[in-house]
Amino acid sequence: MNILQVSAEIFPLLKTGGLADIAGALPAALKAQGCDVRVVLPGFASILTDLETPTVLAQINAPWGDLVVVRYGRLGTLNVFAYVIDVPHLYHRNGTPYEDEHRQPHGDNHRRFALLGWVAAQLAHGLDLYWQPQLVHSHDWHAGLTCAYMAFLPHQGQRIANVFTVHNLSYQGIFPPSYFFDLGLPLEAFHVHGLEFHGQLSFMKAGLFYADHITTVSPTYAREIQTSVQGCGLDGLLRTRSGELSGILNAVDNTVWDPAHDPHISFHYDVHKPFDKALCKAEFQKESGLALQADALMFGIVSRLTEQKGLYLVLSVLDTILSRGGQLVVLGTGEAWLEAAFRERASMYPKAVSARIGYDEANAHRIFAATDVTLVPSRFEPCGLTQMYGLKYGSLPLVHRVGGLADTVVDSSLEDLANGTANGFVFDEFTMQSLDRAICRAFALYARRYEWRRVSECAMSQNLGWEHAAIQYKALYQRLCT
């Protein structure tokens, strides 16, 4: 079965968050299920550089007139065939893929990402004479116009099915209505039954409205986004589409996240021989200037520092962590006030708090290996990957019961300890008090080393690989193609 995957990011070539991890892992997982997967990506420098033996597949004009070169080749790092949209003046920029160095969205983002959907639709409709997808799978608002273009661009032959996956409904790709005329879509698309959203353009809504099927990244989030609390104004549409909406839980790429073979960590361990995790902790304490204490309960955060992630709650329970002899390690980047707050706590308590502001893949691995607890107190969380990395590395996740966190973490309550299913800590109310109690529960369990070990074993032996998710995606694709 031929599948075309459409995304703005792909690990390890370009990553700002979980989307890249999924886009990087899914092609190989689907290949293992017998699918022939190709990807289409914007021509960011890191992606073009990785493209081996590129050929020019097509030179075509974008709806607003720009000359677009579509290159085809193999991404060497991922061993995946790719179509790359090479328009240097659109994609060769400083900053992140979406924002400039002053954290402002690029003024022409509507063109930069409309083009992704537009080229994907051209490929669906036969741009490559030698390979045609049977299904197009697009991800998040950046690729949201794919389904709209597939609905409206003229094509011959059989209609190609499509799936749109929501990784985070709160990032919607909203643009002023005047930009509509750049997109090359018919006027009827600018409608409440289309991509119009409160008088604006919404790329996310285009995906949700025109896709044959919508998935999101956990079953619980699939339910939550149909409510007014988490629906970001799109819950009405999502409720009307509930028959074509499902949640498929994300997974972990075991070739990247495995404490037994991780090249980023100095000491390797697994569930059967967990002892060298203590060496990872000691090394990290030494390198980051923390007190060299084997029995200090060490909490880790690897996260975007945004309001969604609930990290201001951690600031308010820091006293509880410190007064009980714990340590806190933070790696993140995001809102300036949160960066400053964690930096300030690190300078106030250098032996107990370490804060690195920035993005550092290797350091993230070292933190999961070093810490005892991974904190993910998100206000909402579509799936969340860091709690799963915590599970794999024996850094027990402590999470808010929401979205994918609720689907992956089982609290160390007495009954779940007794039946051997506890793998972390879960709090229900998104309040400082509720988080504080969960932190205290972590300290209480840590004092009972035998039980802590049993919970760690349960966490580390969890099967979090991609096989199960890939089987579900393939079954969905097959259903949509028949």
Do residues 55 and 72 lie in contact, with contact meaning Cβ atoms separated by under 8 Å? yes
Question: Counting contacts by CB under 6 A, is residue 17 touching ligand ADP?
Answer: yes
Cβ-count burial of 273 within 10 angstroms (0-12 exposed, 13-18 middle, 19+ buried)? exposed
Question: Counting contacts by CB under 6 A, is residue 386 touching ligand ADP?
Answer: yes
What is the closest distance, in whole angstroms, from the C-beta atom of residue 381 to ligand ADP in the complex? 7
What is the closest distance, in whole angstroms, from the C-beta atom of residue 36 to ligand ADP in the complex? 27
Paired residues of 139 in beta bridges = 165
CA-to-CA distance for 464 and 250, rounded, in angstroms?
A: 9
Q: Which of 9, 13, 14, 21 binds ligand ADP (CB under 6 A)?
A: 21
Report 200-219 residues binding ligand ADP (CB under 6 A): none
Do residues 157 and 133 lie in contact, with contact meaning Cβ atoms separated by under 8 Å? no
From residue 157 to residue 186, the character string flagging contacts with ligand ADP as x (rule: CB under 6 A) and all else as - is: -----------x------------------
Question: Counting contacts by CB under 6 A, is residue 332 touching ligand ADP?
Answer: yes
Phi and psi for 40 in degrees, rounded to 5?
-120, 135
With CB under 6 A as the contact rule, which of the stretches 239-247, 259-267, 378-386, 453-461 interacts with ligand ADP? 378-386
Question: Counting contacts by CB under 6 A, is residue 252 touching ligand ADP?
Answer: no
Q: Which of 138, 285, 303, 395 binds ligand ADP (CB under 6 A)?
A: 303
Length of the chain: 482
Question: Counting contacts by CB under 6 A, is residue 333 touching ligand ADP?
Answer: yes
CA-to-CA distance for 5 and 467, rounded, in angstroms?
A: 18
Residues contacting residue 259 through CB under 8 Å, at least 6 positions apart? 265, 268, 269, 270, 277, 368, 369, 392, 393, 394
Judged by beta carbon, residue 285 or residue 386, the one nearer ligand ADP is 386
Q: In what order do the strands lie in the sheet with 196-197?
A: 174-175, 200-202, 196-197
Judged by beta carbon, residue 344 or residue 361, the one nearer ligand ADP is 361
What is the closest distance, in whole angstroms, from the C-beta atom of residue 168 to ligand ADP in the complex? 6
Give the amino acid at 139. H
Q: Where are the beta strands (DSSP E) in 26-66?
A: 36-42, 51-61
Question: Counting contacts by CB under 6 A, is residue 131 touching ligand ADP?
Answer: no
Judged by beta carbon, residue 342 or residue 425, the one nearer ligand ADP is 342
With CB under 6 A as the contact rule, which of the stretches 139-147, 189-197, 274-282, 327-335 interacts with ligand ADP? 327-335
Judged by beta carbon, residue 11 or residue 425, the one nearer ligand ADP is 11
Q: Which of 182, 155, 190, 189 is nearest to 62 (CA)?
A: 182
The sign of the dihedral angle between the CA atoms of 303, 306, 307, 311 is: positive
What is the closest distance, in whole angstroms, from the C-beta atom of residue 190 to ligand ADP in the complex? 30
Question: Counting contacts by CB under 6 A, is residue 302 touching ligand ADP?
Answer: yes
Residues found near ligand ADP in the complex (CB under 6 A): 17-18, 21, 168, 302-304, 331-333, 359-361, 364, 383-386
